[in-house]
Structure 1
Amino acid sequence: MEYIQQDNVVMLHFDDGKANVVGHQFIDDMNTGLDRAERENAGAVIIRGRDGMFSAGFDLGEFKKGIEQGQAMVKRGFELLIRLTGYPLPLVTACTGHCVAMGAFVVMASDTRVATRGDFKVTLPETAISMDLPPILVALTASRIVKEHLTRVALQSEVYNPEQAVSAGFFDEVVDAEQLDSRCLELAKHLAQLPAAQYAANKLRVRDQTLKLMKDDLASMS
């Protein structure tokens, strides 16, 4: 992860050179960056993937190590989603390409979501690959995906392009690749001007029911 600061906006730029999988390293780096941004009183945070790939989801290599190792990674990933959903600072995601499974959940946990235009896939493939969607993920999905698309997204594993994903509720807008960083910075700077205490408090109020469902499900995994 690269920690980049411009004025009072921090960018957490993730690039593992491959699929930007969400494994222990990704989770550690994300938490470290979020901690630092709060500690240094940043006004807003941007999460950015590498060009062509935001994230392909959980690190499948961890599942191959055994059930306990896979479950430990998943639990930590869910803890991160809860943190992102209730994170006190404005959170903008720059979706730089393919956005699949856990990658899409990270996007949905953000406040403002901007995607790059291109031949990229946005999907929750869990049903298609014979995986369950636990309540924590259903709650997050239902809070962001519009009702008309919820069955297609969460149940039928439909694959969307970036423009279609805006209509479904994954993203707020799509821009050309060369405009992505400047647009996200513009949005982040605007959000950073809002009163910080009220932003943090009202985020928790707005997302109270979603966060409760997510936390209750996480607690049941212990």
Structure 2
Amino acid sequence: MSDDIRVEDTGPVRVIRFDRVAKKNAITRAMYSAMARALEEASGDTAIRVVVIAGQDGVFTAGNDLVDFMEAPPHIGGADTPPVEDFMRALMGCSKPVIAAVDGMAIGIGTTLLLHCDLAYASTRAVFKTPFVDLALAPEFGSSQILPGLLGRSVASELLLLGESWDAGTAKARHLVSDVFEAETLEDEVMTRARALAAKAPSAIRAAKSLMTSPSEDLMERIKREGELFAELLRSEEFEEAVGAFMERRKPDFSKFG
């Protein structure tokens, strides 16, 4: 485990935090490996319901550590899986909801990873930039497909071709993040949402996340898959608890379900 990544479990919420402020949280191979393990462990731990990825006061991440990066340039999809790919696969495959809390700079993969989180929130001082073309490189980890689909090709080109910096207001207006908060309240707001997610029925959360992250398909096929999951959940103990709580006018307690 890298000393530059801190992992803390607060009840059902796991916080994975960049902790290399002297280097603006630039990410090394060891840091990627540590985050990959933390995400994989969270996926397999029924006690963990939600994962939060955060930085430090005023710094999310400056992206890859270029010195570390150049020592072993990653070949994504090659014979050997580099640590950055391990991390991104763990993020994309995480069965639990993942929330990003972006305070300060989110450069390169600091922006790319947001596209694979379930929710992303920013502070008013957040800055987003993907300088791949400026470094004579190409976009990474599906951003060339996801961003045009999310924002439209012209708007996506501001990030991926021009390499423009977006402030938090622009990122929210263009749906890169869900909401923006003052820096001093960002993590409290994120943790409030994380705890709210953690209190919900875990099987229903997994089903909804699985459906939303599945590849596009014929609409009737998707409706059929939704119906199958819906019918399966109707037979679950979690549904019984939800109905019982509604009838008894109390909050449901899903803490005993994994």
Amino acid in structure 2 at the alignment position of 1:111? D
Instruction: Measure the CA separation in 1 of the matches of 2:160 and 2:84.
Output: 18
Matches within 5 A, 1:156-167: 156-167=162-173
Is 2:185 the partner of 1:179?
yes
TM-score, normalising length: structure 1: 0.82
For the residue of structure 2 that corresponds to 1:177, the secondary structure is coil
Q: C-alpha root-mean-square deviation of aligned residues, in Å?
A: 2.3
Alpha-carbon shift at residue 180 of structure 1 (Å): 1.1
Aligned to 2:37: 32
Segments of 5+ residues of structure 1 without an aligned counterpart are 211-222
In the alignment, what sits opposite 2:74? 71
Structure with the greater alpha carbon radius of gyration: 2
Contact kept in structure 1, 2:112 and 2:141, CA below 8 Å: no
Among candidates 23, 28, 42, match of residue 23 of structure 1:
28
Instruction: Return the alpha-carbon distance in structure 2 between the equivalents of residues 174 and 36 of structure 1.
Output: 29
The AA in structure 1 aligned to 2:24 is: A
Taking a change above 3 Å as real, the CA distance of residues 62 and 140 of structure 1, as seen in their structure-2 partners, is farther
Matched, 1:113 2:129: no
| Number of residues of Structure 1 aligned to a counterpart in Structure 2 | 205
State the alpha-carbon separation in 1 of the partners of residues 49 and 195 from structure 2. Answer: 8
Q: Which has the higher contact order (CA 8 A, sep 6+)?
A: 1
Alignment match of 2:98 (pick from 91, 95, 98): 91
**Residue type matched to 2:10 in 1?**
Q
SS of 1:203 mapped into structure 2: helix
Query: Which letter does structure 1 place at the counterpart of 2:8?
Result: I
CA distance in 2, matches of 1:152, 1:35: 34
Alignment-derived partner of residue 49 in structure 1: 55
**Unpaired runs of 5+ in structure 2?**
217-258
Deviations 1:7-34 (A, max 9, x none): 2112112211222122212112212222
Select which of 2, 11, 15 maps to 2:15: 11
Give yes or no for contact 2:32–2:86 (8 Å, CA) kept in 1: no
Cα distance in structure 1, aligned partners of 2:85 and 2:189: 29
Task: Say if 1:22 and 1:77, in contact at 8 Å, map to a contact too.
Answer: no
2-structure distance, mates of 1:166, 1:38: 28
Query: 1:158 Cα deviation (Å)?
Result: 1.6
